[in-house]
Amino acid sequence: EGIGTVIIGRPNVGKSSLLNALAHENRAIVTDIPGTTRDVIEEFVNVRGIPLRLVDTAGIRETEDIVEKLGVERSHQALSRADLVLLLLNHSEELGDEDRKLVELARQHSTIVVVNKTDLAPRLDLEEVRSLIGDLPLITTSVTEEKGLDALEQAIADRF
Ligand code: GDP
Ligand code: MG
């Protein structure tokens, strides 16, 4: 049960941190479900009354570059059952090819774009990001400083 929500993004962008932050704030029941892909973690969290089944794609992404090493097909598989996608981008790094490919995938889903690490010196061109993501909502966060999480929760709630 729960709305299938997949967190995607380059390694180190803060996917696991975001999952933990959302789970902690909501006092979630935490369940680690070992699946076919090692280390994929599901956590059930309640965001403003909306039950989410958050899926951290850590295990898949440990290959460093899912798009290049496992192919676009694998990404589609990871996303195929998602009702909602959270695409994380790193505010402190320039947009890379992998980010662009993930944006392309994300545009085929109900996606919220999360630009994380806003506490660090900015290197991401937000205007470029906005032009690439089209109508998708964009939220800026600093998960470690607990900034933007309310706005993200509101954006999630607005979707349902
Ligand atoms: P993942 O590989 O995408 O799951 O990324 P992690 O959640 O493991 O985070 C990678 C590193 O980035 C960790 O050291 C986090 O503490 C750090 N991190 C996560 N969010 C933020 C943030 O908003 N700001 C800063 N400065 N560091 C962050
Ligand atoms: Mg992780």
Domains in the chain, start-ordered, CATH in brackets? 3-158 (3.40.50.300)
- What does the buried/exposed string (b/e) look like for 111-144 if buried means 16 or more CB atoms within 10 Å of the residue's CB? bbbbbbbbeeeeebeeeebeebbeebbebbbbbe
Cα–Cα dist 16/58, whole Å: 7
Q: Which two tokens stand for residue 9?
A: 């993004």
Looking at this predicted complex, what is its ipTM? 0.99
Note the pLDDT of residue 95: 97
pTM of the model: 0.86
16 is in an annotated binding site: yes
Query: Helix, strand, or coil here: 31?
Result: strand
Mean pLDDT by 10 residues, the chain (160 residues): 89 87 60 45 87 75 50 62 94 94 91 98 98 97 96 96
CA of 134 to the centre of ligand 1 (A): 26
35 is in an annotated binding site: yes
